[in-house]
């Protein structure tokens, strides 16, 4: 279902999308990479978690990554790699907006979600918050 929603998003917003799943218990000797509905799907190699695979990808390929995660360790690694993390909850709302879905919990974003999505007062945003705002605007 997630891949279907991301494929619908990609039809409207032609971003390059990579989705990473754990393969650490049953994966191969290297990451398994497939393309499903235009979405690059990676299963981490045997012994590695999706978190490890994401960190490796972000560190190895210096590009303008926007990483969707709410994992604090990955968020920290993403910032250290000069990429930008966007919290999963924020992207879920963006996904719903782009796909014209109702909000998952039936309620509009709270003030905290507005701040995280870059809709707060520009003068009060930190450097990281401004980077997140730019990333969110790209995703919208």
What span, in angstroms and rounded, lies between the C-alpha atoms of 133 and 40?
25
- Residue with more model confidence, 75 or 22: 75
Does any domain span residue 88? no
Span 77-135, pLDDT tens digits: 999 999 999 999 999 999 999 998 755 555 544 434 444 444 555 568 899 999 999 99
Strands 18-21 and 32-36: unpaired
Does any domain span residue 109? no
Q: Which two tokens stand for residue 116?
A: 């995280």
Nearest CA among 47, 41, 3 for reference residue 27: 47
Span 32-78, pLDDT tens digits: 899 999 999 999 988 899 999 999 999 998 788 999 999 999 999 99
**Number of folded domains in the chain?**
1
Residue 3's domain spans which residues? 1-61
- Do 22 and 112 meet the contact criterion of CB atoms below 8 Å apart? no
Does any domain span residue 41? yes
User: What's residue 139's pLDDT?
Assistant: 95
User: What's residue 110's pLDDT?
Assistant: 46
User: What's residue 30's pLDDT?
Assistant: 85
């Amino acid at each position: 279902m997630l891949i279907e929603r991301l494929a619908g998003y990609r039809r409207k917003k032609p971003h390059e999308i990579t989705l990473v799943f754990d393969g650490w218990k049953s994966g191969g000797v290297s990451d398994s990479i497939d393309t499903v509905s235009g979405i690059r799907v990676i299963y981490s190699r045997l012994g590695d978690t999706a978190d490890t695979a994401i960190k490796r990808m972000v560190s190895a390929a210096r590009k303008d990554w926007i990483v969707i995660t709410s994992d604090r360790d990955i968020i920290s690694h993403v910032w250290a790699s000069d990429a930008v993390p966007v919290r999963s909850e924020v992207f879920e709302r963006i996904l719903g907006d782009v796909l014209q879905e109702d909000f998952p919990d039936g309620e509009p974003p709270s003030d905290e979600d507005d701040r995280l999505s870059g809709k707060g007062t520009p003068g009060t945003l930190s450097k990281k918050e401004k980077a997140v705002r730019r990333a969110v605007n790209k995703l919208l």
